[in-house]
Amino acid sequence: MNAPDRKAMAAMVGAGHSRVDGALKVTGRADYTADQRLDGMVHALPVGATIARGTVRQVDTASAAAMPGVIKIYTRHNIGKLHRVDKDSGVTVDEHRPPLHDDLVRYYGQYVALVVADTFAHAKAAADAVTVVYDAEAPDVGMEAQPGESGEVDSERGDPDAAYSRGEVRLDQSYSTPVQAHNPIELHASVAVCEDGHYTLYETSQAVVNHRAAMAQMLGVPVERVRVITHYLGSGFGGKLWPWTHAVLAAAAARDLGRPVKLEITRQMMFQTVGHRSHTRQRIRLSATRAGRLSSLRHDFLYYASRFDHMKENCGEATPYLYSVPNLRVRSRYERRDMAPATSMRGPGAVPGLFALESAIDELACELGMDPVALRLMNEPQEDESLAVPFSTRHLVECLTVGARRFGWDRRTRGVGSIWRGDEILGWGVASASWLAKRLPAQVRVTLRTDGTAEVASATQDLGTGTYTVLAQMVGELTGLPLSRITVRLGDTDLPPGPLSGGSMATGSLVPAAAQATRAAIAQALGQAVKRKDGPYHGRSTADLVFEAGKIRATDAADSAGVRFETLLAESAVGEGKSGSSDNDADAGKLSLHSYGAHFVEVAWQPEIARLRVSRVVTVIDAGRIINPKTGRNQIEGALIMGVGMALLEETRYDARNGAPVTSNLADYLVATHADAPAIDVVFLDHPDTALNELGARGIGEIGLAGFAAAVTSAVHHATGVRVRELPVHIEDLL
Ligand code: MOS
């Protein structure tokens, strides 16, 4: 990067700009998917199965079809041809069987019919009136199995069995996490338009490019005939990464009716048909010397899949590299149940996995009578021992030491229930966090326009996390234009293909493509400047010119003022940037790329009234360069509050008799609200990781949730003496 770039960068990248789309959102002008109101639009609502296993014998639609406003009712007999997504095509769906494909019911709530009416109310009334006759079989939604001694070995080194049997101190404990539901406030919605065999699909998608490819396959049309639009998202937490069956149904109905079809699923359906985080059971066995040096670590875990599909909840993601331990094995297995397909949920795998691992480390510290921070520092690895490669950058030690200082950890007294504040017992706990860092392929287009503004465009989307803002900052950084003169276009597959919003990968993936596109647009503008006969730079070399503060200027001292770029443009200057996956980097596999963090948590326990809350949190994050500390802090704060929910509130329970998720609304499935939010102190270490991209920005979507629940349960143990190994913590566990 040249000198002017660096100067501009100080004002843009690293500055805590408010969201550029913030005003649109808070004034209701941001058009979310369900806000689309198109001419002739009709409303669809699916009918969900009321059994979890069996066969549809008959769907009686006659009385429903006669109800007010009903336009058409679809079953598998009239929905039209829908195709299966090819598993080898590189296109992702978590439910491969197309909706209304056959008579088999494989989970509760599976769609068995679709009602289309003139209004949502009419569609709802008619959907309730559709009568379905089943041959029901007894479902199995039991989740009591243990990991056992078999399964796929995911990572192994040394001889963990022998080392364990020789261990001076040993720990063998089991942990579990429940089924969790994503519960973004924005419901999943599709508004489908089909005209002349071309589809425009407004969708709540965290990955419009994949959504387009999947829908094209399922509808049986070339990808060019499908356009997917997601301008704004009311979050998704992974639930909106891949297409679900309602989206296919909306498109199929639009195809048949030739009218726009809007389908917004209900909150209850959010627990049934759009994925969840699998229940996990995990066993951790570890051994150490009396002094606290780990000698073996085994992590066996079990998760659940649906009858047809399989999403690995990879609880062992972080285990192989988090600690220095010569003997290790991570092993996984799964069982199938009569449940809907699971999917990625914020920090898939690592989040439930770190609950188990970090709980076990805390238990070991208690066993050894050691400070849990000191135990972690003692077992800090010098390299990624699973791959025998260096870390790109790893500042976990600094996370722990900075966090301990800010939290006041040295004032912690070890005894259970030994810290009081008024009538509350305080408990203090700590845990480490980690999450992978990766780049996905990305393309970005930057246009410098003759009106003095710039546009940056990519078919990625803003999950609500700030992608609009960081892209504007990137272009502002390199052009010197203020954010008010930069427009960002996202969430439309007509734009150059961008990355999904997930895995904490969007920002890090977009950085190189956005920088390249901006530089290409600048080069194009300089090229126009030297050709412009009536301009001051006619006939000069572009090498003599720079673009800064929105102006073009010659580098010689005489031209200190320069000229506003738009006065030299005959037409828009367009630059395209394209970057590849980090898996294809020259040094791929030679470095271990991860983000790290440390959580220090205080809980307050009032035994007289059995009230437990998380009262204070200090979290220190090492996620590389932070492009926007304001949106970044928001991300971590949101993850921590979600972590309060994970630790104390969230669980989806199933009715064993019919296989239904019974916690299917926000009164029964509790999520943490503002009232549950603790005092939060977030610290970013801000060490750039230039192995990932030129700015050294990794990602911050999931790291805040990773490990957090273990810090809470460790604090609960410190306050109450009760070690909760099955999330969430129930008050009755503590009585
Ligand atoms: Mo997330 S599971 O990275 O949307």
**At 724, which CATH number?**
3.30.365.10
> Which sign does the torsion angle of CA 603, 604, 606, 610 carry?
negative
Average pLDDT of the residues in 391-395 = 97
Domain end: 558, 580, 602, which one? 580
- Return the best residue to mutate from 183, 344, 635 for the ligand 1 pocket (most ligand atoms within 8 A of CB): 344
Residue 470, both tokens:
């960081």
Helix axes 208-219, 245-257, angle to 10 degrees: 60
Average pLDDT of the residues in 573-600 = 95
Q: Using pLDDT thresholds of 50, 70 and 90, give the confidence band for residue 686.
A: confident
User: Is residue 38 predicted with pLDDT exceeding 70?
Assistant: yes
Q: Is 507 helix (H, G, I), strand (E, B) or coil?
A: helix
Question: Per the domain annotation, does 492 fall within a domain?
Answer: yes
Angle at 63 between CA 58 and CA 67, to 5 degrees: 135
Question: How far is the centre of ligand 1, averaged over its atoms, from the C-alpha of 281 (Å)?
Answer: 21
Q: What is the β-pairing status of strands 442-448 and 454-458?
A: antiparallel
Question: How far is the centre of ligand 1, averaged over its atoms, from the C-alpha of 497 (Å)?
Answer: 19
Nearest-angstrom CA–CA distance, 323 and 318:
9
Average pLDDT of the residues in 259-263 = 98
Strand order in the sheet with 111-117: 70-74, 111-117, 42-48, 261-264, 189-195, 198-203, 226-229
Question: How far is the centre of ligand 1, averaged over its atoms, from the C-alpha of 44 (Å)?
Answer: 28
Question: Per the domain annotation, does 383 fall within a domain?
Answer: no
pTM for this predicted structure? 0.96
Nearest-angstrom CA–CA distance, 347 and 708:
11
DSSP 246-297: HHHHHHHHHHHHSS-EEEE--HHHHTTSS--BPPEEEEEEEEE-TTS-EEEE
User: Is residue 10 predicted with pLDDT exceeding 60?
Assistant: no
Q: Is 681 helix (H, G, I), strand (E, B) or coil?
A: strand
- Return the best residue to mutate from 205, 241, 278, 465 for the ligand 1 pocket (most ligand atoms within 8 A of CB): 241
pLDDT in tens, 216-245: 999 999 999 999 999 999 999 999 999 999
Q: Using pLDDT thresholds of 50, 70 and 90, give the confidence band for residue 8.
A: very low
Domain that holds residue 666: 389-438+587-735
Domain end: 527, 551, 580, which one? 580
Indicate if ligand 1 lies below 6 Å from the C-beta of 238.
yes
Indicate if ligand 1 lies below 6 Å from the C-beta of 105.
no
Same domain, 536 and 682: no
Question: How far is the centre of ligand 1, averaged over its atoms, from the C-alpha of 240 (Å)?
Answer: 8
Question: Per the domain annotation, does 379 fall within a domain?
Answer: no
Residue 53, both tokens:
């296993």
Helical H runs in 168-229?
A: 208-219
Average pLDDT of the residues in 426-437 = 98
Indicate if ligand 1 lies below 6 Å from the C-beta of 345.
yes
Ligand 1 atom with the shortest distance to the CA of 239 = 4
Average pLDDT of the residues in 266-275 = 98
Question: How far is the centre of ligand 1, averaged over its atoms, from the C-alpha of 293 (Å)?
Answer: 34
Domain end: 549, 580, 611, which one? 580
Ligand 1 atom with the shortest distance to the CA of 240 = 4
Average pLDDT of the residues in 12-41 = 95
User: Is residue 9 predicted with pLDDT exceeding 50?
Assistant: no
Contact in structure between 179 and 142 (CB atoms under 8 Å):
no
Give the chain's domain count.
4
Same domain, 85 and 157: no
Ligand 1 atom with the shortest distance to the CA of 236 = 4
Check if 317 is active-site. Answer: no
Same domain, 462 and 573: yes
Q: Using pLDDT thresholds of 50, 70 and 90, give the confidence band for residue 560.
A: confident
Same domain, 594 and 644: yes
Average pLDDT of the residues in 358-385 = 98
User: Is residue 559 predicted with pLDDT exceeding 90?
Assistant: no
- List the catalytic residue out of 571, 702, 726, 732: 702
pLDDT in tens, 333-350: 999 999 999 999 999 999
Ligand 1 atom with the shortest distance to the CA of 501 = 4
Question: Per the domain annotation, does 382 fall within a domain?
Answer: no
Same domain, 457 and 554: yes
